[in-house]
Every structure is written in C-alpha cells, then in structure tokens.
Amino acid sequence: MPSISRAVPARLRLDWPGRDWEPARDRFDKPGDLRTPRISVAETFGSATAAAAGVDARSGRLVEGDALDVARALAAEGLQAKVDLVYVDPPFASQMAYVHEARLDGPADGRVVRTTAYDDRWERDGIGSYLDMLAPRLEALVGLLAPAGSLWVHVDWRASYLVRVLLDELMGREAFVNEIVWRRAPNLGRQAASHQFGRTLDTLVVYGKPRAKLVPPTRLEPIDRGAVRWDDKGRPFTTAPRGDYTDESIARLDAEGRVHRTASGRVYVKYFLVENADGTHGRERRVDALWTDVPPLRHSRSGERTGYPTQKPRALLDRVIASGSPAGGLVVDLFGGSGTTGESAHSLGRRFVVGDASPLAIGTARARLLRAGAPFVVERCGPARPRERADAAAGAQVSVAAEGDPVRVALDAPREPLAWAIDVAHDPGRPFCSAWHSERTPGVRVRGVAREATVGRGAGPLAVRIWYDDGGIETLVVPS
C-alpha cells in the first residue's frame, strides 16, 4: 500500500512500492532538445469549415498521443505557463477494460460494434504502476498552467486520496482549491443492496496556481409554496435566520431592504425569489462543492451519447470550464476520450487542446467535434500508427465520375463507416486536407454517413479517407 513520508521538510511525499518517478528528474521540454516529442498536423479542414468562416482553425487541436509526450511537446512549443484550465479524466485504477459500443442503426435495430477502447488494468498491487503512469503526466500538465490557471483531476474513491497527496507534493498544499463531489448515479441496484453506502460519487480534485480564482455559478433552488412571502412592492421573498451575520452586516442588509422583523422583533434575512413560468418560486444560490444537480450521461439526450465508455456529460464539463476559465481562454485535456471537453470548450468560446492515446477515442472525438461545428486540426504526437493503411484492404471502394467539375464521388464500404472525407489535391507529403466530410449522427434514430459527395476538382489526385468505429482508418487514392 502507498505510504506518506516526510522526506522533504514541509512538503508531503507520496511513496508507493517501486515508485519510479521523481519530480523534475528528466525534463526535456526545451525546443532544441532532440528528445522533445513533437506534434505534427495530420488533418486540416478545407474551405467548407474554418477558413471560409475566417476562424483560426488552430483554436481547436485534437492530438493523438500519450499525455506525457503531448504535454511535453506543448511545453516545448511555448505553452508552458500559458494554459488557463487543465481538466483530466484519466483511468481510475478500476482494474477493468472498457468497451466502446457503436450503434449503427438505432437501439431498435440492435446492430452494435463493440471494441476495447482502453485498458484500466494495472500490475503490482494495482496502484503502484497506476501512480507511475499518472504522476509524471500530472507533473507535465502542472508545468503548462498559467499563473491564474487551475488543474481539475476527475477520479473516484480508488485514487482521489492519492491524487491529493500527489498534487500536494507537486504544487504544495496551499494550492488546494476544492474537492468537488459529483453524484454521478442514483443509489440503485447492486450499490444499494451492498453492505456499505453506495459508491455513486466521482471526485474532482482541484488545485490552483497562486492567482487562480474560480467563479462558481448560481442555480435556482426550489422553495416550498408555504415559505414564499411578498413585500410591499409585490416582490416574492423567503427568509432565513440571521445565522452568524454580525450586527454590522445586519445594518447593511437593513439599508438594502433585506431584513425582515417578526411581530416579536426577531430578525430574519430576506432572500428575494425568482418566479418560474409555472408559478413556482426558486432562490438563486451559489453552487458549492457538492454537485447533485448534474445528471448522469444516461439521462442526457441520446444524441449526446457517443458510445464511448466512461464518457462524461456535457453539463459537467460546461460547469467546470465556465467556472474555471475566462472567455477565449485555453483549456487542455490530454485524456480526452470522446471529446466532451473539446465540445464544451468550443460552445463556451474557449480554445482547446484535447488529446488521447487511443485511435478509437480520436476517431470518436473527431466526428463529434465536426458535428458540433468546432474549428480544429487533427494532430499526432510521436510515430504514425501502424493501423493506417493506404490501400483498399478494408474493402471500401470509391467511384468518381470521369468528366466534369464539380465531380460526383460515391463510396461503397461494406463496413459501416463512422466518418469519411475527401481531399481533392492529395499529396502524401502533407496533411490530409478534408475539402468535404460526413459523420454518422448518433441518437434514437442513428443517421449514417452520406454515401455520395459533390466536390470541385483540385490540383492533384483525389483521396478518400474512411474512419471506422474500431479506430481503424483507410485511405484510398484515386489516380487522376
């Protein structure tokens, strides 16, 4: 079992059997260092998206690669101390392998492709090798934080206490901001029947750089009809005992018309209420560190569910990003899975770098970000993956009308694709440029990709790239 020792005075240190990591032991994030991992562009999007809209496509980046390599590469690019918010939802040390379920034609049809998405099984006592993985990646991510930046690590009971001590060691105890508890599921079934309180919670451990300031949102809490009163201006309010308000504070509230005195002279604080459309009333309150109002993903609309295991709800990431980063700020998530962080960052007007080591995750996130209309580039950190084939081995075929401009391209793919795209001036020496693309839309009635496209002829050979649900990619080049 891990143990805490005080090897360095005034700084906690987490030890575990076979600990194989020392902070700042092998930093190689200087631009000139040949060992520094590099990120290269793998796919850009042509006229149909960002460029035409005058949007900087690099405001979004989807990077395939190990989080450690990507974080080091970002630092070497100059992003050290530039990132406003890092959110990571790494494996939880659950000793399970997670399966992606791609629905091909809606739940009623039942056609589902299952593929292992990622493995969360660890050697030794199940935690030592996990911490050997996590510690250097958190260290590299901490190095990216801006002076007002914050780091959010999403884990559960298995690792939350260890992550806190790790971050105490990396950032200092004074950097602790919050331990947010998110109720991710109701207490039902096996959990409710077990001889313990249901483990229905996830933990978001939040640490901040010295100038970090979160802006928690407010939410409307319902107020019982019987507790609603009206003042002489007809405004609805409710009251609460004065609690630990000082006489000075009560005098200030009194001047604002926010003190209610009973006939016997007892003092209560008035809270004005919001009237809902249905005539009920709510009191606006600041959200605290107990999040019971973000429903689990299975309660989200079906189009949100990508089939990626352990996908988090958009509402959760919306709250994290809105309260932890400024408008236009930079958000990084290098355990990005299905791309929830990227979609949320885009919708809230933040820039993002989302990465993942799994090609299946990258394919899922790519399709999702395109459906959301986010401008971004696809990048790769480290060597090209061997799965990619530049031939027709997976059996897909394209036919292109011989004459005319624009030209009609038809796809015949025996395996249902997740997405496909066309590069009209393909050059194997440069990134694939998608001039046209189509992605499957999930939901109650799944909509498959279009099978035909019309594109203008480009200056080079036309190439078609196809993404499958198991993370496989196929590229077909049509000779000009």
Ligand X SMILES: C[S@@+](CC[C@H](N)C(=O)[O-])C[C@H]1O[C@@H](n2cnc3c(N)ncnc32)[C@H](O)[C@@H]1O
From 15, 66, 101, 254, residue interacting with ligand X (rule: CB under 6 A): 66
The least CB distance from residue 282 to ligand X, in Å, is 29
Q: Given the complex with ligand X, which of 119 and 412 has the nearer CB atom?
A: 119
Q: One symbol per residue from 320 to 349: x for binding ligand X (CB under 6 A), - otherwise; what is it?
A: --------------xx-xx-x---------
Q: Which is nearer to ligand X, 140 or 377 (CB)?
A: 140
Instruction: Pick the stretch among 251-259, 288-296, 356-364, 425-433 that binds ligand X (CB under 6 A).
Output: 356-364
* Residue of 59, 129, 150, 311 interacting with ligand X (CB under 6 A): 311
Q: How far is the CB of 1 from ligand X (least distance, A)?
A: 23
Is 270 within 8 Å of 245 (Cβ atoms)?
no
- Angstrom distance (rounded) from CA 280 to CA 185: 27
Residue 310 contacts ligand X per CB under 6 A: yes
Sign of torsion, CA 179 182 187 190?
A: negative
Q: Which two tokens stand for residue 161?
A: 């206490």
Query: Which residues lie closer than 8 Å to 225 by C-beta, 6 or more apart?
Result: 280, 281
Residue in 59, 150, 358, 438 binding ligand X, rule: CB under 6 A? 358
* Residue whose entry in the numeric block shows the structure tokens 């079992």: 1
The single residue among 14, 45, 93, 118 that binds ligand X, judged by CB under 6 A, is 118
Span from 1-9, 30-38, 85-93, 264-272 in contact with ligand X (CB under 6 A):
85-93
Q: How far is CA 177 from the centre of its chain?
A: 20
Element (H, E) at 125: none
**Segment near ligand X (CB under 6 A), from 29-37, 145-153, 229-237, 309-317?**
309-317
Question: Of 37, 91, 359, 472, which one interacts with ligand X (CB under 6 A)?
Answer: 91
Residue 89 touches ligand X, criterion: CB under 6 A: yes
Q: Does residue 474 bind ligand X (CB under 6 A)? A: no
User: Which residue's CB is nearer to ligand X, number 46 or number 91?
Assistant: 91
The CB-of-331 to ligand X minimum distance in angstroms stands at: 13
CB of 477 to ligand X, least distance (A): 30
Q: How far apart are CA 375 and CA 56, in angstroms?
A: 7
* C-alpha distances out from residue 246 to 99, 256, 269, 285, 385, Å: 56, 15, 12, 21, 65
Cα separation, 457 vs 15, whole angstroms: 61
Options 130, 207, 308, 352; binder of ligand X; rule CB under 6 A: 308
Answer for the pair 466, 417: CB distance below 8 angstroms, yes or no: yes
Q: Which region among 41-49, 185-193, 353-361, 436-444 touches ligand X (by CB under 6 A)?
A: 353-361
User: With respect to ligand X, which residue has the nearer C-beta, 67 or 374?
Assistant: 67
Residue written as token pair 């440029």: 433
CB pairs under 8 A, 24+ apart, for 411-417? Answer: 411/449, 411/451, 411/452, 411/453, 411/464, 411/466, 412/451, 413/466, 415/468, 416/104, 416/111, 416/113, 416/440, 416/448, 416/469, 417/449, 417/466, 417/467, 417/468
The CB-of-122 to ligand X minimum distance in angstroms stands at: 11
Report CA 452 to chain centroid distance, whole Å: 32
Of 308 and 432, CB closest to ligand X? 308
Q: Does 312 bind ligand X (CB under 6 A)?
A: yes
Q: Give kind and range of the element (H or E) at residue 275.
A: strand 274-275
473 near 432, Cβ under 8 Å? no
Candidate ranges 88-96, 222-230, 275-283, 428-436; the one touching ligand X (CB under 6 A): 88-96
Q: Judged by CB under 6 A, which of 90, 128, 363, 375 binds ligand X?
A: 90
Q: Is 122 in the site for ligand X (CB under 6 A)?
A: no
* Stretch of 83-91, 260-268, 382-390, 439-447 contacting ligand X, by CB under 6 A: 83-91
Task: Give the helix/strand (H/E) hosting 341.
Answer: helix 340-347
**Residue reference for tokens 């009623």:** 108
CA 48 from centre of chain = 26
Neighbouring-strand partners of residue 223 = 281
In angstroms, the CA 282 to CA 274 distance is 5
What is the smallest separation between the CB atom of 44 and ligand X, expressed in angstroms? 22
Provide the binding-site residues for ligand X, judged by CB under 6 A: 66-67, 89-91, 118, 308, 310-312, 334-335, 337-338, 340, 356-358, 361
